[in-house]
């Protein structure tokens, strides 16, 4: 294996899960952050760099194949001869709650664009790089993680768009796990069931303390998944605050 530090790539970096995952993986790897708006990425890149890590930001729209292709050309240039150790797809798209008959095609499609098509392009870009790393006998199996939601398990009323997208993402994660697991790649689908504790949800009140999921805890979970040896791959796990009803 090259003596260079390996990389991790995180797509879908806002102030919550994506940023925490990037920080966590930056403790061991160089990290590339992908998001549509560089405003979301820049502070995280700066923070990781200031802390002595290595991070780059690339703007990309994962639902657009050309944009993903361009982003990964940039990433590969930055990587030089290094390998890709982990990839996290954290693009959620809009959560639309609306009577079905009021949904526009564009609104219904948005769930698929983020969770289906975007996950497809991202997976096609990262899997060849993760396969390369298998040959390098890394400490931890190369890993691809999808951030999902309870909507992947249950199609609730008024949530057709988001649920259709998350169900599709779960199908993709299973299919990839079954195809690429035997090739040494760990594919996981993480069902995040609860409100995440970020600036935007700061004022959402609950009866109990700790009612919101800390993004750092999600990041720790993803890191744990990454460290599982190949005799012990977890394809699916749920994550929820202790007080969540389910």
Please tell me whether residue 18 binds a second copy under the rule CB under 8 A. Answer: no
Alpha helices in 142-214 (DSSP H): 160-180
- Nearest CA to 109 out of 170, 161, 158 is that of 161
Token digits of residue 31: 């990290």
Q: Which of residues 84-113 bind a second copy (CB under 8 A)?
A: 99-101, 103, 105, 108-109, 112
> In this structure, what DSSP letter does residue 213 have?
B
Does 197 sit near a second copy (CB under 8 A)?
yes
Q: In Å, how far from its chain's centre is CA 46? A: 20
- Contact segment (CB under 8 A) with a second copy among 20-28, 44-52, 73-81, 162-170 equals 162-170
- Binding range to a second copy, per CB under 8 A, among 20-28, 46-54, 80-88, 159-167: 159-167
Q: Which stretch binds a second copy (CB under 8 A): 10-18, 44-52, 76-84, 216-224?
A: 216-224
Residues 192, 148 contacting (CB under 8 angstroms): yes
Please give the residues from 119 up to 158 whose contact with a second copy meets the rule CB under 8 A.
120-121, 123-124, 127-128, 141, 151, 154-158
Residue 160 sits in the site that holds a second copy (CB under 8 A): yes
Query: Which tokens sit at 151?
Result: 């909507």
Min dist CB 109 to a second copy, Å, is: 7
The answer to whether 234 contacts a second copy (rule: CB under 8 A) is yes
Of 105, 14, 12, 13, nearest in space to 63 by CA: 12
Using the minimum distance from each CB to a second copy, give the nearer residue, 78 or 96: 96
Complex with a second copy: residue 55 or 146, whichever CB lies closer: 146
Cα distance between residue 229 and residue 77, in whole Å: 29
Measured CA to CA, the distance from residue 230 to residue 185 in angstroms comes to: 8
End-to-end CA distance of the chain: 45
7 and 74 in contact (C-beta within 8 Å)?
no
Q: Minimum Å distance from CB 245 to a second copy?
A: 8
Token pair listed for 204 = 């959402």
Contacting residue, 39, 51, 136, 171, with a second copy by CB under 8 A: 171
- Could you say which of 137, 182, 199, 205 contacts a second copy (CB under 8 A)? 182
Residue among 59 and 234 whose Cβ is closer to a second copy: 234
Asked if 210 is part of the footprint of a second copy (rule: CB under 8 A), the reply reads: yes
# residues near a second copy by CB under 8 A: 78
Do 141 and 85 contact (CB within 8 A), yes or no?
A: no
Name residues contacting a second copy, limited to 48-67 (CB under 8 A). Answer: 65
- By CB under 8 A, name the one of 54, 96, 117, 198 that touches a second copy: 117
Q: State which H helix or E strand residue 218 sits in.
A: helix 215-227
């Amino acid at each position: 294996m090259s003596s260079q530090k390996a990389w991790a790539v995180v797509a879908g970096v806002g102030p919550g899960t994506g940023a925490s995952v990037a920080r966590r993986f930056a403790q061991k790897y160089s990290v590339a952050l992908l998001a549509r708006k560089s405003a979301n990425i820049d502070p995280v890149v700066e923070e990781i760099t200031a802390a002595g890590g290595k991070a780059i930001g690339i703007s990309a729209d994962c639902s657009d194949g050309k944009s993903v292709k361009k982003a990964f050309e940039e990433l590969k240039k930055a990587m030089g001869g290094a390998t890709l150790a982990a990839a996290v797809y954290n693009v959620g798209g809009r959560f639309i709650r609306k009577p079905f008959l009021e949904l526009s095609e564009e609104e219904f499609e948005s769930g698929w664009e983020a969770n289906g098509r975007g996950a497809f392009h991202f997976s096609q870009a990262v899997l060849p790089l993760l396969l390369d790393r298998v040959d390098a006998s890394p400490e931890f199996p190369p890993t691809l993680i999808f951030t999902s939601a309870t909507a992947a398990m249950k199609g609730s009323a008024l949530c057709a768009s988001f649920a259709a997208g998350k169900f599709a993402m779960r199908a993709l994660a299973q299919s990839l796990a079954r195809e690429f697991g035997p090739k040494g790649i760990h594919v996981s689908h993480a069902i995040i069931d609860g409100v995440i504790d970020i600036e935007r949800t700061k004022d959402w009140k609950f009866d109990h303390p700790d009612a919101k999921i800390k993004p750092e805890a999600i990041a720790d979970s993803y890191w744990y998944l990454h460290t599982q040896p190949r005799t012990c791959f977890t394809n699916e796990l749920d994550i929820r605050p202790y007080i969540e009803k389910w």
